Copies of this chain bind each other. A is one copy, B any other.
Amino acid sequence: MAEETVSAALTLKDIAREAGVSLATVDRVLHKRPGVRPDTVRRVQETIARNAFQPHVAAAELARGRARRFAFVMPTGANPFMQQIEAYLGEMSAWLSARRLNVELINTDVFDPSVLAASLETLSGDYDGVAVVALDHPGVRAAINDLVDAGTKVVTLVSDVPSSRRHHYVGIDNIAAGRTAGALVGRLVGEKPGKVAIIAGSQGLRDHAERIFGFNQVMASEFSHLDILPLLEGRDEDDRSEQLLSRLLGKHPDIIGLYNVGAGTQGVAKALTEAGREKQVVFIAHDLTAMTRRLLLQGTLDVAISQNPGHEARAAVRVLLSLARNEPILSEQENIRIDILMRDNLP
């Protein structure tokens, strides 16, 4: 039996004594407050490092008095994925309040850059941290940078703005998600030749464009015997997606693969089943909802590629909290995975 050392639980007082300074000076160093000579700063920091001292989170939290405020800026409307994220935030409410964390939901039209940017500007100063489902647009980028400059911690959620100075991105790599979809379609259709249909909300949406890019990449390099049909744009709407796909299925009796990049999966599935082709076509879509779960169990949908909304909600909160506390982030924990869900590994 091997045991790890049981740390002696040092306190700030111990550090002060060992560094030969007063408690106040250690406090100044710890919070990067001015009024300490560089020499002294170094001496204190070395003592902290040497002892691997960690301030007691509970004591720090208790001492600061005021609660932390986080804002989640989410899209208005009935997007089920976003609603799931909001639902999981609700499930955390006991956890949050036991830690005196206030999380406020702010619904905005995140697809209008000026509205989103204006929304973000109003938050300045009022919040310790902001999580935002962000559109990648210069105005939004500027608003994010302003928040960061004002000392607010900013996390992009689901959709990133890599060119901004946001502290963290909580979401998946959509190119890899598209590649995964491509590999699955290619592998599941087998070796027979045929056509593959892709339907997306819009090529203008960054995440959709990235998924399509990754999908095409894999199809071209690994499954060149398959014929990729021109992209359909269903605007994430069930009806429109259904109509477009119905027409396409009628025109091409040899479609053997189908990838729905965005929402509208219900419409896509309806077109497929009404054509009586659900058993012959490998169908892959995104996200796990009550509906995609049903389609998976029925066998209409072969694979759902998803990002875990609960994980994203919790990761965003944890990251904001760690940033606010100036605490390291457990990167492996906060990294969102691309989940491949089939009938037998449904959560």
Binding site for B on A (CB under 8 A): 1-4, 6-7, 9, 52, 54-59, 61-62, 67, 69, 88, 91-92, 94-95, 97-100, 102-108, 119, 176-177, 179-180, 182-184, 187-188, 190-191, 214, 218, 302, 308, 310-311, 314, 327-328, 330, 332-333, 335, 337-345, 347
Contacts and interface: CB of A to CB of B under 8 A. Distances in A.
A184 B342 contact: yes
Contact of A342 (B100, B180, B190): B180
A31 to B, nearest CB: 16
Given A58-B62, A310-B332, 8 more contacts: A4-B102, A4-B105, A54-B98, A62-B62, A92-B330, A176-B345, A314-B333, A340-B341
Contacts of A344: 176, 179-180, 182-183, 214, 218
Identical subunits present = 2
Interface of A, secondary structure class, is mixed
A102 B339 CA distance: 33
Contacts of A338: 345
B332 A91 contact: yes
Contact of A97 (B52, B97, B176, B347): B52
Max count, chain B CB within 10 A of own CB: residue among A56, A99, A191: A56
Nearest to A192: B190
B177 A345 contact: yes
A3 B91 contact: no
Contact of A58 (B52, B58, B302): B58
A340 B67 CA distance: 40
A3 B123 CA distance: 13
A91 B330 contact: yes
A163 B191 CA distance: 47
Contact of A57 (B2, B98, B330): B98
